[in-house]
A and B are shown apart, each in its own frame.
Chain A
Amino acid sequence: MKKIFLSSIAASLLFAVSCQTDFDNSTEDVVVTSGEADFSKYVALGNSLTSGYRDGTLYSSGQNESYPLMLATQMKLAGGGEFKQPMMPNDVGGFNDLKDANGNILYPGKLTLQVSNGALGPVYSAPAAALDNVTSGGPYQNMGVPGAKSFHLVTPGYGSATNLSLGRANPYFVRFATSASTTVLADAMAQKPTFFSLWIGANDVLSYATSGGSGVDQKGNTNPATYGSNDISDPNVVAASIKGVLDGLKSVGTTKGAISNIPYVSSVPYFTTVPYNPLTPAALGANLTALNSGLYGPLKQALTAFGAGTRINLLSSTSANPLLIKDTSLTNLSAQLTAALTPSLGAATAAAFGQIYGQARQATSEDFILLPANTIIAKTNPNAPASINVYGVSFPLDNQYVLTKTESALVTAATDAYNTSITSLASAYGLALVDSKSKMIELNSASGIQWDGVKYTAKFVTGGAFSLDGVHPTGRGYAIIANEFLKAINMKYKSNLPMISPNSYSGVKFP
């Protein structure tokens, strides 16, 4: 009897043993390898995105969450070496000794959320220190230079202190350049990296876009020395600069790395936060009728007479109305408007109207109203006549607040051209290609990107992925980017660097 009893226990034990209680493959036993790559000296090249810039500046805790540092940390699991960054001397950022001709601060400290009038909004801090020099602590493996365009990486003198006042150098490179005449590329080559990442080209369109198209599209002009700071770089210049970097690295034996394409500006909150039509009938209230009879009606009538009646429509009392903007691509009808309005308004007032509305039109869904417009829409312009001084309502938003349809088409065309070159260079040089562009589009979709229950979107502040400047990611956003680099590197070089969890980095800080 006991025998039967015992053997039945034995039988059930056997049954039990057949079930798998442990992990079939414990992550603790996974050996992280570099595959065909060698991560012992990884150097990151790029612009602000590479440096860890966020909240409108570069500051130490932001640098500690730069995507290259995230990559280097994972690479350390597979033979990666030391990864030094040119740390800012404080956690606020900015340079208090660099000012423009009018004495205005050029490099402010970080944006922080502050409560004013019961609402949360980003406010710049005062810069915390003068421009320092950290060259002696180098060489640095994170060589991201905020503000750098593609050709800046191969421009001698970009790190020269004396060139700063001439506008030909960048203080962020001056901080750690090994000499006044060196280039970012030369300093990188001197380190003989075994692996590199390169993400450059965004600023070649971005400064044009964030300035509301204040520059010139330099397509066809292949001499970047002649470019203004807000111009769009010629795609051949961008391609040649990137190729120059790749060739330079190749010449010192650095042939393995990752290169990223450029996101569209239309996927970042700086361009997508402010709606083109925030003027609801409720917001306009009683002013709606007055605006139609006193301004929009007469203006439309006058413009119609010059064949430009489509620029302005009467304000609707049932649906949201578009903002009034200035579009510099429109024929300037100032003189005609002044002449037409003089009989009814008198010469002086008519001249003011003509000047203000000569290139005015209502925004459409294809125009991007820029983030800074948020702070001035519906505020009064002290320099405008009292009856027509409300920004976006009776006074057109200036060019710098709007990237019009025409301007954004130039930006998109340039971005596409750069990305075509980046893709073909990645393939020609056998590099891992990181598709940041698609990731940003995904982030900008309604469903966003979810990680362990946390959903990230490209919405300003609440989306969690973008910092307070509306262009640069938060630590969590950078981690999403870092994962794209890791995936591309693993795929190209057969390494198995582990992914990182975006949730464990910092997001927007609340006061």
Chain B
Amino acid sequence: MKRILMTAALAAGVMAYAGGFRVSLQGVKQLAMAHTSAHAEDASVAFFNPAGISFIPNKVSVVAGGFGVSNQITFQNTSTLKQTETDNPLGTPLYFAAAYKIVDKLSVGLSITTPFGSTIEWPSGWEGAEMVEKLELKSFFFQPMVSVKLAPWASFGASYIYARGKVDWTKRVTQLGGSLNLLDDEATGHGFGFGFYFQPDSKWDVSVAYRSPVDMKAENGKATFNVSSALYPNIGLAATGGVDTFKATLPLVDEITLGATYKVTPKWLVSADFNYHGWERYNKLTLDFANAPVGNQADPTILVAPKNFKNAKTFRVGTQYMVTDMIAARAGWYYDESPYSDENFIPETPSFDNYVITAGVGLKFNKLGVDISGAYAMPESRKVNNAYNSFYGQAKAKVFYFGLGLSYNAF
């Protein structure tokens, strides 16, 4: 089971529209309510806040779900009048979580998610090909956790994060008349998360959580220069046939989440969340090649590209109405800020200020819950003013998410 899930998780490539390459799709029920966090009905709370598992009403809870992400980016160059659309595959982020209440005060849990990722595929030889033709970023977080009840109304939980990731990046090297592929599927990283969860009375749920940054380190990436073999000596790769190794670190950034849910009536609840993402950590990307002098630093094998991401915020509002005891109707709205300015727009991880409306239905069949949700994003078209790459124009995106989740609560 674990192996299957991990394989599935690795297969999950997603284009993230807002928030750099953070993919906020870790709970189908949550997405229906704008991906808000203060919902402790089942184990899907584990990713949002480890402390939340203490308030799951049942002794055992298992959830699993998946999403489809359909998306397309369009770039238009206002001076050549050329428009280019991406041909991105359907993204399929998945999640699994389980929680077990050992005693009333102590719960343990496990969350497996794909919180960061991006697959973007521009047409071969498009205008920005020197920056990216195809980029696939994948990650999965494997988070064991424990939560203790500090009081009947408060809990504290913490998790350890083990992350694995993959990067597969193909770009043109126009001046050498070829292309470069950077590949590493053995990148790993570590981090942690902790949070407090409160149910001060029967009407309120309050969630406060922090997830640390995870630096994904590629120690032995493979760089393949698909260029004329006559050039191998010029790029220091005569002995290896145009293949080099590289080291790089990609930061998966930290996140602070404040969330609350208020039951207006026994049947109707409203939720709100605030997220703060530490994208400032991704201010540059350093590629350290073993031999190829394709860099831009004093050491010619080191290439540093400025990214200049800025910390970003997300605001979420969601609601649920129990139509009957078995049927829940949900809806939400959120606003997710792009982590960079027009001057730092990069086509390998396009990002937009994003307005999203969400909706979904939950069905309860005794212990089994089935949830479906969908979201329609309205990313704001933006200017592209990247002087570092002399890349100018405008970009827009179309995004649609849908999800199917199952939950099983027992005892």
Within 8 Å by CB of B127, from A115, A501, A508, lies A501
Contact between chains at A16 and B127 (CB < 8 Å)? no
Contact between chains at B333 and A12 (CB < 8 Å)? yes
Contact between chains at A27 and B83 (CB < 8 Å)? yes
Please report the C-alpha to C-alpha distance between residue A147 and residue B240 in the assembled complex, in whole angstroms: 45
Contact between chains at A462 and B175 (CB < 8 Å)? yes
Please report the C-alpha to C-alpha distance between residue A23 and residue B74 in the assembled complex, in whole angstroms: 10
Question: Does A503 make an interface contact (CB < 8 A)?
Answer: yes
Known contacts A13-B357, A450-B390, A453-B389; A27/B175 CB under 8 A: no
Known contacts A15-B333, A15-B355, A30-B81; A454/B175 CB under 8 A: yes
Within 8 Å by CB of B390, from A113, A120, A452, A498, lies A452
Within 8 Å by CB of A20, from B128, B174, B331, B381, lies B381
* Cross-chain pair count, CB within 8 angstroms: 118
Residues of chain A contacted by B268 (CB below 8 angstroms): 1, 5
Known contacts A19-B355, A22-B381, A23-B381; A453/B130 CB under 8 A: yes
Within 8 Å by CB of A1, from B82, B317, B321, lies B321
Residues of chain B contacted by A19 (CB below 8 angstroms): 353, 355, 378, 380
Contact with A along B373-386 (1 / 0, CB 8 A): 00000111100000
Residues of chain B contacted by A12 (CB below 8 angstroms): 317, 333, 357
Residues of chain A contacted by B357 (CB below 8 angstroms): 9, 12-13, 16
Contact between chains at B125 and A504 (CB < 8 Å)? yes
Scan residues 436-460 of chain A and give those whose CB is less than 8 A from a CB of chain B.
450-455
Contact with B along A22-35 (1 / 0, CB 8 A): 11111110101000
Question: Does B202 make an interface contact (CB < 8 A)?
Answer: no
CB distance from A454 to the nearest CB of B (A): 4
Question: Does B204 make an interface contact (CB < 8 A)?
Answer: no
Residues of chain B contacted by A27 (CB below 8 angstroms): 76-78, 81-83
Scan residues 347-381 of chain B and give those whose CB is less than 8 A from a CB of chain A.
353, 355, 357, 378-381
Contact between chains at B333 and A453 (CB < 8 Å)? no
Contact between chains at A118 and B321 (CB < 8 Å)? no
Contact with B along A258-296 (1 / 0, CB 8 A): 000000000000000000000000000000000000000
Please report the C-alpha to C-alpha distance between residue A120 and residue B79 in the assembled complex, in whole angstroms: 37
User: Which A-chain residue is minimally distant from B265 (CB atoms)?
Assistant: A1
Within 8 Å by CB of B396, from A15, A22, A120, lies A22
Question: Does B90 make an interface contact (CB < 8 A)?
Answer: no
Scan residues 213-248 of chain B and give those whose CB is less than 8 A from a CB of chain A.
227-228, 230-231, 233-234
CB distance from A130 to the nearest CB of B (A): 32
User: Which A-chain residue is minimally distant from B177 (CB atoms)?
Assistant: A510
Scan residues 310-334 of chain B and give those whose CB is less than 8 A from a CB of chain A.
317, 319, 321, 329, 331, 333
Contact between chains at A21 and B396 (CB < 8 Å)? yes
Contact between chains at A120 and B234 (CB < 8 Å)? yes
Contact between chains at B319 and A28 (CB < 8 Å)? no
Question: Does B308 make an interface contact (CB < 8 A)?
Answer: no
Contact between chains at B391 and A452 (CB < 8 Å)? yes
Residues of chain B contacted by A115 (CB below 8 angstroms): 230
Please report the C-alpha to C-alpha distance between residue A452 and residue B347 in the assembled complex, in whole angstroms: 11
Contact with A along B67-81 (1 / 0, CB 8 A): 000000010111111
Question: Does A8 make an interface contact (CB < 8 A)?
Answer: yes
Residues of chain B contacted by A425 (CB below 8 angstroms): none
Contact between chains at A23 and B76 (CB < 8 Å)? yes
Scan residues 94-153 of chain A and give those whose CB is less than 8 A from a CB of chain B.
113, 115, 118, 120
Question: Does B129 make an interface contact (CB < 8 A)?
Answer: yes
Please report the C-alpha to C-alpha distance between residue A23 and residue B355 in the assembled complex, in whole angstroms: 16
Interface centre among A26, A118, A507 (most CB of B within 10 A): A26
Contact between chains at B355 and A16 (CB < 8 Å)? yes
CB distance from A448 to the nearest CB of B (A): 10
Please report the C-alpha to C-alpha distance between residue A500 and residue B82 in the assembled complex, in whole angstroms: 9
Contact between chains at A8 and B174 (CB < 8 Å)? no
User: Which A-chain residue is minimally distant from B377 (CB atoms)?
Assistant: A21
Question: Does B410 make an interface contact (CB < 8 A)?
Answer: no
Residues of chain B contacted by A20 (CB below 8 angstroms): 380-381
Contact between chains at A510 and B381 (CB < 8 Å)? no
Question: Does B131 make an interface contact (CB < 8 A)?
Answer: yes
Contact between chains at B227 and A510 (CB < 8 Å)? yes
Known contacts A452-B128, A452-B130, A453-B390; A509/B76 CB under 8 A: no
CB distance from A480 to the nearest CB of B (A): 12
Contact between chains at B129 and A503 (CB < 8 Å)? yes
Please report the C-alpha to C-alpha distance between residue A25 and residue B381 in the assembled complex, in whole angstroms: 11
Contact between chains at B175 and A507 (CB < 8 Å)? yes
Known contacts A15-B333, A452-B127; A24/B381 CB under 8 A: yes
Please report the C-alpha to C-alpha distance between residue A21 and residue B228 in the assembled complex, in whole angstroms: 43
Please report the C-alpha to C-alpha distance between residue A9 and residue B332 in the assembled complex, in whole angstroms: 8
Scan residues 230-286 of chain B and give those whose CB is less than 8 A from a CB of chain A.
230-231, 233-234, 265, 268
CB distance from B359 to the nearest CB of A (A): 8
Interface centre among B81, B130, B230, B390 (most CB of A within 10 A): B81
Contact between chains at B355 and A499 (CB < 8 Å)? no
